[in-house]
Structure 1
Amino acid sequence: MGNLASLLETSAEKYPDRTAIVFGDSRFTYAQVNGAANQVANLLASRGVQPGDTVALSCPNLPYFTIIYYGILKAGATVVPLNVLLKPREVAYHLADSGAKAYFAFEGSAELPIGDAAWEGFQATDSCQEFFLIKLDSEAPAPLEPPEYYAPLVAEQPPTFDTVDTDDDDVAVILYTSGTTGQPKGAELRHRNMRDNALAGKDLFGADEDRPDTYLCVLPLFHSFGQTVIQNGAFAFGGTVVMLPRFEAEPALNLMLRESVTFFAGVPTMYWGLLGALDESFDVATLAKNLRVAAAGGSALPVDIHRQFKERFGVTILEGYGLSETSPVASFSPYGQEPRVGSIGVPIPGVEMKLINDDWSDVPDDPDAIGEIAIKGHNIMKGYHDRPEATDEAIRDGWFRSGDLGRKDEDGYYYIVDRSKDMIIRGGYNVYPRELEEVLMEHPAVSLVAVIGVPHESHGEEIKAVVVKNKDHDDVSEDDLVAWGKEQFASYKYPRVVEFRDELPMTSTGKILKRELS
């Protein structure tokens, strides 16, 4: 069972003709996905990729993502999934930091030119040797000039491959997560971390390969939630993944109806969107009859969304909690029980949670006590890639400190009280101010900057930069800085709001008092 790719291989062996992936009018059986993943593994081996090497992947929710993901794993390499919104500068950073030897990227669209950003980032990274561009036009001839096209190359490869027998503790996936210390860090997740978290679906949701679920995949697969709970969770039990590249409520509802979706997972804004799109034209009764599980994470669900969803769909939304560093699921609301609204549930089987103080000492067992959530179990990462000091700060005696403040009621249910001090959650994406501040300080007009989150009706929080200007740059406006930031950062990251001030509030030691900014 060592290699995470065994989730695909076992299901392909047992259920070769079962539908593994649905995308538009295309349907792929487990045998087809397994064969295509073998071709990717052969391509990588032919280009000198060795077990233990890292291979990056930039791709939205398309069958290519899953095929290449498992192909990389079969070759014994480590997958580095990248956010498709990254700009060239950010791509180059991730490739260099992870030591990626090869890189697969989908071409994208005019609105989101993933392939262009990927190619530019690749060219700026000496350590990355191979680049494969995934184009929808699979008939396109191999170009005389780089980049190389994915389809003609894999078509030449045999659909059989002897999967590399990895160790349980080898790194399967590196998921990049920002921190309050600036640049994103790569969380190294072992094969057993990812595999055991996917197999937890049996206990958490009653997953059963004899009665497989059909999963709607709207959560980005490059994020840990979609990757583990949807993709790997489905493949662990011979389920079907119905892919939608970006969430839009009406198409999602139509797909749920057309494909008889039984399992939906999303962030709170997705549930809000589904409820808002329901009208008389939708056969809500059939949707509700099919839907077996609704799972949520990312941030707390409003009480009213819980109530409305239960009324319309007859299903209780199960809330959970986790981080990239925890593969990601750490706690979940127990299946079949009434939810405690606002709670992130209880630790999943094989996982422990507790509340700690800054010095790692335990918080007294009192329902009113607040402490930082610490997590221990089969889901905890190996560490941060090439960052031993950051790893030592985050993990002690097997316990990982989350940076999130919480409390625990008398029945052992956990509640998030506050996010890590500085983190901003914009539309379900984690944004860490320090990374933005460091780049904004490179602008000649910026003398000092503090990035904060401000309340926003639809995104939860919006990103705001409070700036003290250099005196000789009076001609630079707030709009100029917004436009500059848009060029530097992925679209979910850049500050939409810039405010100029003469000074920033500070402590006696010179630390900016962000709580006094708004």
Structure 2
Amino acid sequence: MTSTNPGQDGTIERPTGTLVLDRRYAKGGLPAQVHVPDTTLFENLEMSARRYPGKTAVQFYGAAYTYGELLRDAGHMAGYLQQACGVKPGDRVMLFSQNCPQFIAAYFAILRAQAVMVPVNAMLLEEELRHIAADSGAVACFAAQELANQLLPLLGQTPLRHVIVHAYGDALGDDDAGLTVPDWVRVRCSRDSLPDGMVSWPDALAEGRLPAPYTGKQSDLSMLPYTSGTTGAPKACVHDHRTVMTSVAGSQLWRNTNCEAVFLAVAPMFHLLGLQNSLNGPIFVGGTIVLLPRWDARTAAELIERHRVTFWGALPPMLVDFFNQPGIESRDLSSLRVVGGGGAAMPENTSALMRERYGLQYVEGYGLTETAAFLFVNPVHKPKPTCLGVRTYGVEAHVIDPETLQPVPRGEVGEIVVHGGQIMHGYWNNPKANEETFITLDGKRFFRTGDLACEDEEGYFFMRDRLKRMINASGYKVWPAEVETLLYRHPAIQETCVIAARDAHRGETVKAVVVLKAGHEGITADSLVAWGREHMAAYKAPRIVEIVASIPRTATGKLAWRTLQEAESMQ
């Protein structure tokens, strides 16, 4: 094997067309190949709407939206983007919201306008938003009403100039269907009080604008999802329609879904787990999305029972909460056929309960934002516990020595490197990160995952450690360097080192070890925790702060984070 650093353009050979699977896994009804459609993500909606115009595409509490209605609204909003906001093909448009019907319509409106969708975590605050808006160059944004004010300081100070504001309550209709709807979801749009630069979703939709003819191609950029990095600033992953479609087509074939499948959409759609499993996948096959804006175990059980949900993509902490809720044993969950996910360790007691009481195997998978989520998955007919799974369609993967870049013997631990049609083209505007992340092995472009694993004799991969410095809090990736950068804005902090601490519910949580500046000895750990929650997304903010006199250093003078992490792991 040889190693070089390819450019961002991804010109080194990439898998296309028909992608094959190792025949060892093509059992239990799993085909040995997948034909990736030569169409775009928007055309998935267009095709399903033509086939099933009156079929329910999205169920939101008591309101049902058909495929025909979804296509109509996406078209009108695409027309508004083009004509009122001046959005041109290739322009970036942010989407900043919890799960709701408007999120789905806005997503397809962006794609219909031949623009590039930039999903934004709904927990981010102003400075984090500023970086994404400036780095992506987004000119417009769809935003939920409770989040829109955070965008005000960005108007005129970044390329962002238009914000379309939606309220979850506007999508509810008049019938709650006997379900518990949170008060914050019921709030309707306050269209009369919006500041300059913002327009309400109902007003924009009412204009009934029609978009220009669609000429999108699969090679066009489709999205720039951001993933945090060790350098302290989030990086955008460059995906075109084909990389995302490769993941979508393969994952739906793997799980044997079809137009009669019903998907419980609880995982956030601003995250690739939710976007792929709960939006792109269902629309691709013409299924029905049963939507929850935020996790609610009781309502999730009611929805599964009422709408006969067949597929549920969920993080392990959700399932722990779900199966431990009072009265769950009386619920009819017999419609569930596949429950899958990843991103965190699944407790064995919950996994055993699912198997023994409901006959359900938790089908774990492994993917990253850089790989459009679908990379390794356990075969549904033969999953292995605490396992990342096997290579999916067209994926080549090796376990290599991270220093020499040479393969390690089977069974030994090394870094996972992958090549496949779903791999991003590179990081947006970040050539240095691309040089560090991509290598060439035997003439093919491989992505370095930074994850350490081993491969067993049957080709199943098992996570062992992380080469990258990363905290996995309930499936959310938290990069310590980014949190440290934000913490240094506190006037009392002289030095800080962020590490992972064990957490019974989140798996891991964020801990900050802090040295205070002279004259600030009165600052408490609790006050620093509170400050963190005010200045960064909740999942990133340190839950634990330890104030110390000094932080150990390496021989080169760097903060010895590994020493602190090892000491924490021993507790």
- TM-score, length of structure 2 as denominator length: 0.85
Q: Does 1:473 align with 2:473?
A: no
Which residues in structure 2 correspond to 1:115-194 (within 5 Å)? 115-120=148-153, 122-123=154-155, 125-135=157-167, 136=169, 141-143=191-193, 145-146=195-196, 147-158=198-209, 161-162=211-212, 164-194=214-244
Q: Which amino acid aligns with 2:93?
A: V
> AA paired with 1:287?
L
Q: 1:140 to 1:349 in 2, by over 3 A?
A: same
Q: Distance in 1 between matches of 2:453 and 2:374?
A: 16
8 Å CA contact 2:511–2:544 kept in 1: the answer is yes
DSSP-derived class of the 2:234 partner? strand
Secondary structure, counterpart of 2:228 in structure 1:
strand
The 3-state SS of whatever aligns with 1:5 is helix
- For residue 62 of structure 1, the aligned residue among 92, 100, 110 is 100
**Which deviations, in whole Å up to 9, do the C-alpha atoms of 1:174-220 show, x marking residues without a partner?**
110001111000011110011121111343101223xx210000100
Task: State the SS of the aligned residue for 1:344.
Answer: coil
- Match among 374, 380, 395 for residue 351 of structure 1: 395
Which is worse superposed, 94-103 or 392-401? 392-401
| 1:273 equivalent among 315, 321, 324 | 321
Contact 2:79 2:212 in 1 (8 A): no
SS of residue matched to 1:242: strand
1:253-268 mapped onto 2 (5 Å cutoff): 253-268=301-316
Deviation of residue 153 (structure 1)?
1.2
Residue 477 of structure 2 corresponds to 430
Q: CA deviation at 1:236?
A: 0.6
Q: Is 1:26–2:63 an aligned residue pair?
A: yes
Alpha-carbon displacement from aligned partner over 1:363-408 (angstroms, at most 9, x marks no partner) = 22321x1111111101100111111121121122321011111000
Task: Name the residue aligned to 2:368.
Answer: 323
The 5-angstrom pairing of residues 331-370 of structure 1 reads 331-337=376-382, 339-359=383-403, 361-367=405-411, 369-370=412-413
In terms of fraction of residues, the more strand-rich structure is: 1
Counterpart for residue 7 of structure 2: none
Q: Distance in 1 between matches of 2:214 and 2:131?
A: 28
TM-superposed deviation, 1:360: 5.9
C-alpha contact (below 8 Å) 1:92/1:124 kept by paired residues: no
Matched, 1:483 2:483: no
Is the Cα–Cα contact under 8 Å of residues 218 and 245 in structure 1 kept in the other structure?
A: yes
Query: 2 CA distance for matches of 1:360 and 1:266?
Result: 37
Aligned residues of 1:95 and 1:125 also touching (Cα < 8 A)? no
Residue 355 of structure 2: aligned partner? 310
Please name the residue that 1:226 is paired with.
274
What is the SS of the residue equivalent to 1:229?
helix
- State the distance in 1 between where 2:326 and 2:255 align: 26
Aligned mates of 2:394, 2:508 — CA distance in 1: 34
Query: Cα offset for 1:516?
Result: 2.8
Percent identity between matched residues is 35
Q: 1:448 is paired with a residue of what secondary structure?
A: strand
DSSP 3-state at the match of 1:405? strand
Give 1:492 shift: 1.1
The structure showing larger relative contact order (alpha-carbon pairs under 8 Å, at least 6 residues apart) is 2
Aligned match of 2:33: none
Distance in structure 2 (CA, Å) of the matches to 1:124 and 1:487 = 24
Q: 1:200 to 1:383 in 2, by over 3 A?
A: same
Select the residue among 283, 287, 292 that pairs with 2:333.
287
Matched residue of 2:469: which SS? coil
Does the 8 A contact of 1:374 with 1:400 survive in 2? yes
Q: Which SS does the other structure have where 1:250 is aligned?
A: helix
Q: For 1:249 and 1:460, how far apart are their aligned partners in 2? A: 19
Are positions 1:387 and 2:425 aligned together?
no
Unaligned runs of 5+ in 1: 109-113
- The correspondence for 1:204, drawn from 220, 244, 254, is 254
Checking the alignment, whether the CA contact within 8 Å between 1:100 and 1:128 is kept in structure 2 is yes
Structure 1's 197 and 478: CA in aligned 2 closer, same or farther, altered over 3 A? same
* CA offset digits 1:261-301 (Å, max 9, x no partner): 00011011111112101526733xx312x111111211222
Superposition deviation, residue 139 in structure 1 = 7.2
Q: Which residue of 2 aligns with 1:111?
A: none
Please report the RMSD computed on the Cα atoms of aligned residues, expressed in angstroms: 1.7
* Residue type of the alignment partner of 2:494: S
The reply on whether 1:507 has 2:554 as its aligned counterpart is yes
Specify every segment of 5 or more residues in structure 2 that has no aligned partner in the other structure, as ranges: 1-37, 171-187
Shift of 1:125: 3.1
Residue identity opposite 1:42 in structure 2: G
Deviation at 1:479, TM superposition (A): 2.2
| Aligned counterpart, 1:396 | 439
CA distance in 1, matches of 2:494, 2:64: 55
Between the aligned partners of 2:121 and 2:166, the Cα distance in structure 1 is: 16
In structure 2, what is the Cα distance between the partners aligned to 1:293 and 1:141? 41
3-state SS of 1:183 partner: coil
**Does structure 2 retain, via aligned residues, the 8 Å contact 1:169–1:191?**
yes
1:371 aligns to 2:414 (yes or no) = yes
1:44 aligns with 2:81: yes
State the alpha-carbon separation in 2 of the partners of residues 123 and 399 from structure 1.
Answer: 39
Q: Tell me the amino acid that sits aligned with residue 436 of structure 1.
A: V
Q: Which amino acid is 2:487 matched to?
A: L
Structure 1 window deviating more from structure 2 (35-44 vs 273-282): it is 273-282
CA displacement, residues 447-492 of structure 1 (integer Å, 9 cap, x when unaligned): 1110111101111112111111111222322222222222210111
| Alpha-carbon spacing, 1:347–1:150, altered in 2? closer, same or farther (3 Å) | same
Distance in 2 (CA, whole Å) between partners of 1:263 and 1:451 is: 37
Shift of residue 515, structure 1, vs aligned partner: 3.2
Single out whichever of 257-266 and 393-402 deviates more from structure 2. 393-402
The 2-side partners of 1:406 and 1:318 are apart by 18
CA distance in 1, matches of 2:59, 2:104: 12
Q: Is the 8 A contact 1:3 1:74 kept in 2?
A: no
Whole-angstrom distance in 2 between the partners of 1:116 and 1:404: 38
Distance 2:534 2:546 in 1: 19
Query: 1 CA distance for matches of 2:535 and 2:50?
Result: 46
Equivalence for 1:409: 456
| Residue 163 to residue 385, structure 1, CA distance change in 2 (3 Å) | farther
What SS does structure 1 have at the residue aligned with 2:541? coil
Deviations 1:57-82 (A, max 9, x none): 11111001110001000100000010
User: Are positions 1:92 and 2:125 aligned together?
Assistant: no
Distance 1:493 1:145, change over 3 A: closer
Q: 1:144 to 1:179 in 2, by over 3 A?
A: closer
- Tell me which amino acid in the other structure corresponds to 1:414: F
Do the aligned residues in 2 keep the contact of 1:12 with 1:34 (CA within 8 Å)? yes
